[in-house]
Structure 1
Amino acid sequence: MEDLNLLEEVIDSLEQDSNVLRIKRLILFTCNDTWSNDVNEVKTLHIRQLVRELMILFPNLNTLKQKLNSHVKQLSKQSDYLLAADNIIDSIGFLYTLRDEGKLPNSFLYPDEAVAIASRNEAEIIVDPDSQSTIPHRHNLKYLTNLFDLRADISRNISPLHAKILLFSSLHYRFSPQERDWSALYTYDLDDLMQLIFQTYETFDALEQQLTQVSQTLDHVEDAKRASAVILQALRPFY
């Protein structure tokens, strides 16, 4: 069953993002290797068309992440564009999952048969079923291969960026707005961090204690506390 509403939510969230001009520039640069400094030109670009082109050119999400990272490294304001790239991956990641589940409206990616044929060349990802044997409480983690619903639940209530900062800080080191932190944060998407959280904290009490403590040390304490509460509520049923 196609989910048109979620598609529209993703497009609208990118359109309303305060970083939308950088997002548009970065998508344009990634798709066409063309950089535009013309603000008026960039404003006329439609996010819907840019996202469609991005997903057709890069049918594999991991390939897209690598390409975005490669293009960001060519820019002078890397920290700003790493944030834009992070917003792109977190938002469009929903659409890749919808596509893989057959829920993305065909009319979005395949307006005609020529585009449909061109966009079928997707790399396969092979998962070793034994590779999950070391993951704690894996019997409760059926979503490990599909974190879409959990990620959507968290992202509807808090900024994905706030969630990532809290989880990253709980797993590695306290996040601070230095360029090296943005770069390190960008190497993970929200799915990666949630899987690592489950592998690291085997009990809900241990996770609750860590998130609560870390949230009180971050720069934006209220945002961090809100993120902690939302994440804990979402993850509790899986322990």
Structure 2
Amino acid sequence: MLGLLTADKIVQELEAHPNASRIKKLMVYACQNSWENDPNILHNYRLADLIQKLRSSHSTIEELAATLHRQVQTLNRQAEYLLVSEIVINQLGQLYQELEEVTQVVFIKPENLVTTSNTLSVFDDIAKEIEQDSHGIRMKKLIIYVCKNRWENDQNILDKFNLCELIREINQANPTLDELSAAFAKQVQTLNRHVEYTVVAQTIISKLEKLYRDSGESTGIKINKQAEYNQSLASRQDIKHQPISEGNQIKQIDDRFEVRMEIMKYTNPLRAKLLLFSVIYHPFKGRGQDWTILRSETLDDLVLKLFSTCPTFPELESKLYHTAKGIANPDESTQAASAIARSLKPFYTG
């Protein structure tokens, strides 16, 4: 039986989300296998019932993720609904975690919910940084495009948008740094000057990263638990981190954004994270502790951890493809392995 408090909390979170309408459409599609756009019909579906049905028909979060991703692949707006599917997975993951850790309160709040008294000043500071930047106008145009899904060149209209409010909106709509990066990547790829705006997007993300970093730093227990878990896994599996040096024929990864974008061109961020987790620690089983650690680490974190353990590119490829064949959804996992290998290959020499 679903924990009533947890289920109620999930319903509240999903109903309050900026993408609530899309979330409900996708959940109905996953439950009924038919797409529904009629608001009157959608209104008849209760989120609590949809959550109950999805949970009871999928014994693991991996199965649920696979179903949602399969459904998304049949839509003509895959990029938007891929992000929506990650929101649903992130929220319903609490119900699976609850079974494994009944006596613990372990759900990690989405990284973007900065609730300290300094929140407003953080948004203001970022807005001021952007406005003072030499590319401030381009940055504002791209932020509006990501938030409102419309491109605007009219300076009078641009001036009407409050940059601080746009930053708050974009932060709320993208619970993780990975989702934020995916949102910008999707929009940049539609522009005729996408090379220039890739650099603009990278600058914006570097400024917004503090919103996600600050919230993570405020939960000391999570970080300590993660360190203990990582240490125990490293000890048990004898993970040896190789120093990055000329002897190992590895270059330093200076541009994490480009690596992240390259990976997300060919696979979704959750699939990449599941594979990386399985390579670094152990095959992902969907247990509560696995999800706790997975949520606490960004795609960047996991990529760098794998990179530091593989002194040669053949070793990296071997670990990725071997692990992909042995975990759930091997075809999708192999695609993720290819995407990760492709993105990291330029950093190996010789």
Paired with 2:96 and 2:63, the residues of 1 have a C-alpha distance of 12
Q: Which amino acid aligns with 1:149?
A: V
Aligned residues: 157
Q: Let me know the Cα RMSD of the aligned residues.
A: 3.6
Does the CA-based 8 Å contact 2:110-2:175 persist in structure 1?
no
Does the CA-based 8 Å contact 2:110-2:176 persist in structure 1?
no
Q: 1:165 aligns to what?
A: 177
Q: 1:92 aligns to what?
A: 92
Change (3 A) 1:96 1:149: same
Q: 1:217 aligns to what?
A: 203
Paired with 1:101 and 1:155, the residues of 2 have a C-alpha distance of 24
SS at match of 1:217: helix
Does the CA-based 8 Å contact 1:19-1:84 persist in structure 2?
yes
- Is 1:178 matched up with 2:135? no
Paired with 2:18 and 2:110, the residues of 1 have a C-alpha distance of 22
Q: 1:52 aligns to what?
A: 52
Does the CA-based 8 Å contact 1:30-1:68 persist in structure 2?
yes
Paired with 2:172 and 2:59, the residues of 1 have a C-alpha distance of 23
**Runs of 5+ consecutive residues of structure 1 not aligned to the other structure:** 104-145, 182-215
- Is 1:230 matched up with 2:237? no
Deviations 1:100-145 (A, max 9, x none): 3347xxxxxxxxxxxxxxxxxxxxxxxxxxxxxxxxxxxxxxxxxx
Q: 1:63 aligns to what?
A: 63
Does the CA-based 8 Å contact 2:17-2:173 persist in structure 1?
no
Paired with 2:65 and 2:40, the residues of 1 have a C-alpha distance of 27
Of the three residues 109, 113, 116, the one matched with 1:152 is 109
Does the CA-based 8 Å contact 1:11-1:47 persist in structure 2?
yes
TM-score (norm 2): 0.38
Structure with max Cα Rg: 2
The alpha carbon displacement at 1:84 in A equals: 1.1
**Runs of 5+ consecutive residues of structure 2 not aligned to the other structure:** 116-170, 189-201, 228-350
Paired with 2:173 and 2:209, the residues of 1 have a C-alpha distance of 10
The alpha carbon displacement at 1:220 in A equals: 8.1
Deviations 1:72-100 (A, max 9, x none): 01001111111110110111111111133
SS at match of 1:9: helix
Does the CA-based 8 Å contact 2:176-2:212 persist in structure 1?
no
Does the CA-based 8 Å contact 1:162-1:224 persist in structure 2?
no
Q: Which amino acid aligns with 1:179?
A: K
Paired with 2:8 and 2:114, the residues of 1 have a C-alpha distance of 17
TM-score (norm 1): 0.54
Change (3 A) 1:64 1:20: same
Higher relative CO (Cα under 8 Å, sequence separation at least 6) belongs to 1
Does the CA-based 8 Å contact 1:11-1:48 persist in structure 2?
yes
Change (3 A) 1:35 1:156: same
Does the CA-based 8 Å contact 2:23-2:85 persist in structure 1?
yes
The alpha carbon displacement at 1:67 in A equals: 1.1
Among the aligned pairs, what percent are the same residue? 20
